[in-house]
Structures are given as C-alpha cells and as structure tokens.
Amino acid sequence: MNKSITVAKTAGFCFGVDRAVKIAYETAKEQTDKKIYTLGPLIHNPSVVADLEKRGIGVINSPSEAKEGDTVIIRSHGVGRAVFDELKDRGVNIVDATCPFVTKIHKLVAERTAKGELVLIAGDREHPEVQGILGWTESSAVCDNSGEGDAEVFPNCVELVKLLRKNCEKSKKGVAILSQTTYNIVMWNQCIRAISEFSTEDVTVYDTICTATEKRQSEAESLSRKCDTMLIIGGRNSSNTKKLYDICSANSRCFLIEDSRELKDIDFSTAESVGISAGASTPAYIIEEVKKDMTEILSNEEEFNFEEAMEQSLKKIYTGKRVSGVVTAVNSTEIIVDIGTKHTGYIPLSELSADPNAKPEDVVKVGDTIDVIVTKLNDVEGIAMLSKKQVDAQKGYDDVKKAYESGEVLTGTVTNIIKGGVIVTTSGMRVFVPASQTGVRAADSMDTLLKKEVRFKIIELNEQRKRAVGSIRKVTAEERAQRGEAFFETAEVGQTVMGEVKSITDYGVFVDVGGVDGLVRRMDLTWARIKHPSDVVSVGDRIEVTIKDIDKETGKVSLVYKKTEDNPWVIFEKNYSVGQTVEVKIVSITAFGAFAQIIPGIDGLIHISQIANQRVANVADFLSVGDVVTAKITDCDIANKRVSLSIRALLPEGEYKPAKETAPAEDEAEEAETEE
Ligand code: SF4
C-alpha cells in the first residue's frame, strides 16, 4: 500500500485524563453498594461516558443533584472551592480526580489572589476548567465592568493588553497571568510578547499550559504539515480536541470525528497520507479502531483506484484500443466524444466515416453512444484522437468476409472514382471494384457511378491486409442470366415487349428485353430511309419492340421496332391512286431519271422520258435534288413496291423530242427503282 497512516505518539488520553478514568473505574469496583456520579461527563468522549454508565457511574451536572451517601467523582478539569464545600455539606463522598496540573493552578490562583493580586487567565471563560480555576480566587469574584474582582479571563493577546492597561492604572498589588492548561501555545506566546511593554515588577507570568497539551498540539501541527488529510479524534465539545482541529486545519484537509463510525461519511479517494491525532479525552482503543478502519478504507480505496486506473490505462495506453464513448459535440471540423477517461476525445472528420462525402450530422448526433478506436494519445494535454471509421471498417470487414464466404450480394455506395476502378463503401469498409467489374463500358465514364448505391459481390479477399475486391458486373450478370432464363420461358414470336436500347451498330440496334439482348436489324427499325440506326433511337431509350424470332439454343432474339400501321405502302395505298397529281420532292438524280418522295418511305421514279415534253439529254439540266415538282402518278405496283411518276403528262401538248444520247433503255431504268 503506498498510502500512509501515521498516528501521533501523543494522541489520546493525557496523564490527567488517564488518571481520572482509572480512578473512576477503581471507584466503580470498590463502591458497588453506592450510587456513583461524575460531576459532568468525566471526559469529553461519549463512548467512554456510556461505558462508565454501564458500570454504574452516572452523570450529574450540579452538586445539588447528589444525595447524602452518594459518591461524586470530580473530573480532571477540577471544580471551584465552593463545589467541594456544597458536596461536603450534602454528605456526599467526594472522589477528587482533578488533574494534579490543574490542582496546582487552583493553589496558585488562591495564593496570588490572597495576596491581592489580579489573576488574568488565558482561556475560554465557559470552559469547566476555567470555571473551576475562577472558583479558587480569594473572594471568588470575577472582574465585572467596574473592574472590581480577583480574576479575569482573556481569550487572546489583544484582550490581555486591554486588561493590563486598565488594571495597571488601578492600584492593584500586581498581576498574575496564567492560562487554561489546554490554551493554544501559539496564542500564549503572542500574549507573552504582548506584555513586554508592561513592567515586569507588576506582572508575573505563570506558564501553566500542560506540556501534554503542548506536545500534542506541536506534534499534530507537525503531522498536519506532512499529511494531506488529518483525522482529529475526540468529543465535539472537547476544547483541546477543537484546538487540535484548528491547528491542523491550517495545514491540511482536516476532519474531527468522535469515533470510527464517522469515517464512512468522509471521502478519502484523494487521500494519500493520513495523520491521526486525538484529544486528551480519547481512549486508546478508539484511536486503534480508527486506525484499523482507516487502514482498510485506504486499502480498498487504493485497490479501487488501482482497478480504475487499470481500466483508464487500458483505454489510454492501448493506442488502437476499441472503446465506447458518448458524442458530446458535433461540429464542422470534428466530433467530440466522452470516452470516460480524463482525455478529451476528438474524431477528425477524416476519421468519422469511410464516405468522404458524408456530413457529420448525418453520421452521428449528440448523445449517441459510439464505438471508436484510439489512434493517438497526448497524456500531457489530455487529448485522445479517435477513429470511428476504423471501427466501422472492422465491422465492415467482418460483413465483407461473411459475404465473400457465402456469396451474398452486398449493397454499398460508390464513394470514390480512382484510377482503374471505383471504391464502394459498405458498412464502413472500402471495397475496390476494378473498372472491368463496374459494368460500365470502357468507352463510358465511371463518373456516372459516383454516389450511386450499387449491389456487388466480393470476388477477392486479402485477409492479411483486410482488403477486398468486388464486382458489380458479376451481380448484374447473374441477375441478367436469371432474367434471361425467365424471358425464354415465356417469350413468343409476335409478342410485344419493352426493352432498353443497349447499343447501336451500323447494322442494327441491340435491345435488352429482360436479361436478353435482342437485335433489331436496320430494316426492322423503321420504314423510313435512314443513314444510320442512331437516326431512330439512342442508347438508353426505352422502346416497344415485337419479337420477330427466337432461337433458344443460341440465345438469339430478333426484334422489330417499326410498326405495321406506319408502313408507308399501306398509307400510300390508302391515300393515293394512279392518275392522281401529287407534289413530290426530288431526292436523287440518276442517268435515267429522278427519284421523288411522295410520302416518307415512298419514292416514285420520274423517268428521263417523263421529265419534259422535249428530249432530255441530261436530267440535271432539268431537275435538282430538293426541287419540289408536280407530277402525275402514272403507274403503281404495290406488290413490287414501284411507283412511276410523270411531269411530262401534266405539260401542254407539244412536239416531243426523245433523248438522243444518254437516256438508258426503259428496262434498265425500271430495274434501278428502289423498293424503299
Ligand atoms: Fe492534566 Fe494536562 Fe491532561 Fe489537563 S491536559 S488533564 S492538565 S494532563
């Protein structure tokens, strides 16, 4: 035990008290047939008084309470002459246990006052010892306001000087100064110094302070300077005990107790060294009890503190130790956490969450109990740097490991786009997903994934480095495969389904129709003439398609996007007929004529011979692409999707000059007509 307990050698019963107690017990033994009383409590200690009571020694407070034949023990404080006389008059058997040192004062006072001297007594006027001393003056008269009397009591040097000045002017025969036996030695010395201005012939000083008191006070004072805590044991109405308390209080934390039962009310958690002293009325066994109990208390306290210190130190010294704490503040730069130690815990924002985009207030709030890891300690400044992110990562790692072993699909948020892939955060754990496993095409930017929630599987785990590699694509591929199986089970040719355009090529468009990418060939994309499939749809478009063909063995699906009701030949047949005049737009020029759009998807041929009512050698001399001209539908072959137009048929009658040089034969021109 590092804590110490020191009991003052002079603690407890003084000679006079010890003598009085012994006398009382002897009297109880010898006079068993008489009523025995002490005049006032024998000593200022309730437990001793109670014990004497058990042995048949009661307490009376006035001589008048005693009856003839009773035995009255005069306690160590002593009493005045008049008290003795009264007791004798009442036929009381007196046992005088007055301390010899006190008796000596009684005699001194009686002598000095008999010589006409004024006796000035340093002490407490109300104290029984002082009362007893005053009872031995010649006239038994104490000074009153008129200055008459044999004796006076003064509490301190200031009052002493006043008394001396007042009384020296009077024609007294001298002044004797003495003190209560338990008067404070320091104050007594002050008094001695204060009277130096007065004539030594007139003033006589008698040092009547009991050396027992002096030694006790001196030792207690010295002990109180060495100990952080002092226990003064004694009755609360004991003058010398209170003086000990006052002296020691100036130097240390001081407690006045009557016995060991009061120890439980005192907090000794900070006590390292305890000193014990006791008033003159305190029996040795009470001091011993206090010492014993105090030893136990300090021992327990030390044990408790040790455990507590261990607990604290576990939190302190193990950087990397996981501890619980309560969030006490959340601000824009850090989180403050009470981790139950003397340290102030700080979580920098960078250590709060694995998600760098997370707002602190979205992660924790004041009052939350959270687990953190101590990352750095500064015992001198009482600062503990903490990380919640690492705790989350530990938990996240456990989850990730389980998922890796079970093949479970995890959900996380893409928190970073890095070279070669993305970082997905799940339960505080950062998982690397290579670009090839993101599901994003090489040509596209992975930025589209940032802050998005994704589902992924762990495909690689490094337990040593606690790192994991994930794959978003694996999940989507597996899910797609499942959807694909479901598609082939239910899909039928002619069925209309919704799909998403996944990619566009020169020859057509791939559409995801639910786990399966079907192909819409260019010819099935639109009825209109187009330069490229991207003229019709874009990647990501949701379109309605019709299943044209299914090959379950190869997994190939052909789709049609163009709608039957949009078929221009149907529209043409419904709205146009041979002989009808129409406004058409020249869309291309050939050597044998020009093609003109009647409606989108239907182009008719204006043969070179039908451009003018004169010979046309070069079509371009008469028509240009983009020209809008009026022509007559001269022929219509719906089955072969051919329409013939003629400008000439609408021209006035005139000489017809056929082309001579470049006009191709009719057959050749007809073959060149397009279907669409
Ligand atoms: Fe006697 Fe001194 Fe004890 Fe008083 S303190 S009773 S004078 S021994």
- Which strand ranges, in their side-by-side order, compose the sheet holding 151-154? 151-154, 118-122, 175-179, 203-205
> Which among 14, 183, 282 is the best mutation to test ligand 1's pocket, defined by most ligand atoms within 8 Å of the CB?
14
Number of residues that this document lists for the chain: 676
Query: 71 C-alpha to center of ligand 1: Å?
Result: 23
Calculate how far, in angstroms, residue 343's C-alpha sits from the geometric centre of ligand 1: 54
Protein residues whose CB sits closer than 6 Å to any atom of ligand 1: 14-17, 76, 99, 101-102, 181-182, 210, 212-213, 280
Q: What is the DSSP letter of 97?
A: -
What integer pLDDT is reported at residue 657 of this predicted model? 40
Give the active site residue among 65, 86, 111, 129.
Answer: 129
- 582 HSE (CA, 13 A, CB side): 27
pTM of the full predicted structure? 0.44
Q: At what angle do helices 157-169 and 185-194 cross, to 10 degrees?
A: 40
CA of 76 to the centre of ligand 1 (A): 7
If one residue of 213, 216, 240 were mutated to test the ligand 1 pocket, choosing by the most ligand atoms within 8 A of its CB, it would be 213
- Residue carrying the six token digits 């786990």: 515
Contact in structure between 59 and 45 (CB atoms under 8 Å) = no
Residues paired with residue 383 on neighbouring β-strands, in sequence order: 344, 378
- For the record, the structure tokens of 470 come out as 């994930």
240 C-alpha vs ligand 1 centroid, how far in Å?
A: 10
Q: Express each pLDDT in 500-528 by its tens digit.
A: 999 999 999 999 998 899 999 999 999 88
Q: How far apart are CA 627 and CA 103, in angstroms?
A: 151
In which residue are the tokens 């003229």 written? 535
Give the list of residues 6+ apart from residue 306 with CB closer than 8 angstroms, or none: none
Distance between CA 286 and CA 292 in Å, rounded? 10
Q: Residue 506 corresponds to which amino acid?
A: D
**Residue corresponding to tokens 């949701």:** 542
**Number of CB atoms found within 10 A of residue 122's CB:** 26
Residue 644, C-beta contacts closer than 8 angstroms, at least 6 positions apart: 604, 605, 607, 610, 633, 634, 635, 636
User: Which residue among 103, 180, 181, 216 has the greatest number of ligand 1 atoms within 8 angstroms of its CB, and so is best to mutate?
Assistant: 181
SS3 453: strand
Q: Which atom of ligand 1 is nearest to the CA of 213?
A: 5
Distance of CA 600 to the CA centre of its chain: 73
Other CB atoms closer than 10 Å to residue 424's CB: what's the count?
27
Please give the pLDDT value at position 655: 46
Mutate to test the pocket of ligand 1, among 75, 101, 239 (most ligand atoms within 8 A of CB): 101
Would you state the pLDDT for residue 210? 84
Q: Determine which residue's CA is closest to atom 8 belonging to ligand 1.
A: 16
Instruction: Verify whether residue 129 is a known catalytic residue.
Output: yes
- β partners of residue 413: 425, 453
Cα 581 to ligand 1 centroid, rounded to whole Å: 149
Residue ranges with strand state E in 189-306:
203-205, 229-233, 253-257, 273-278
Q: Which helix (H) or strand (E) holds 546?
A: strand 542-551
Which atom of ligand 1 lies at the shortest distance from residue 76's CA? 6
Centre of ligand 1 from the C-alpha of residue 92, in Å: 25
Q: How far is the CA of 102 from the centre of ligand 1 (A)?
A: 7
- The type of residue at 652 is P
Residue range 426-472, pLDDT digits in tens: 887 889 999 999 988 888 888 989 989 999 999 999 888 888 999 99
* Model pLDDT, residue 116: 87
Beta bridge mates, 326: 338, 369
Instruction: Report the amino acid identity of residue 61.
Output: N
User: Residue 147's pLDDT is what?
Assistant: 54
Task: Yes or no: say if 76 and 19 are a contact pair by the CB < 8 Å rule.
Answer: yes
Q: Is 329 left (phi over 0), alpha (psi -120 to 50) or beta?
A: beta
Per-residue confidence (pLDDT) for residue 271, from 0 to 100: 87
- State residue 530's pLDDT score: 87
Q: Give me the pLDDT at residue 666, please.
A: 45
- 435 neighbors 420 (Cβ within 8 angstroms): yes
Burial category of 310 from C-beta neighbours within 10 Å (exposed 0-12, middle 13-18, buried 19 and up): exposed
Nearest atom of ligand 1 to the alpha carbon of 77:
6
Atom of ligand 1 nearest to the CA of 212: 2
Average confidence (pLDDT) per 10 residues, the chain, 676 residues: 83 85 89 88 80 91 93 94 94 94 94 90 91 87 62 90 75 82 85 80 85 84 92 86 91 91 87 91 86 86 53 55 84 81 81 82 88 80 82 84 91 90 88 92 87 93 88 90 88 92 94 92 89 93 94 90 89 93 95 94 93 90 94 93 94 55 44 40
Number of CB atoms found within 10 A of residue 349's CB? 17
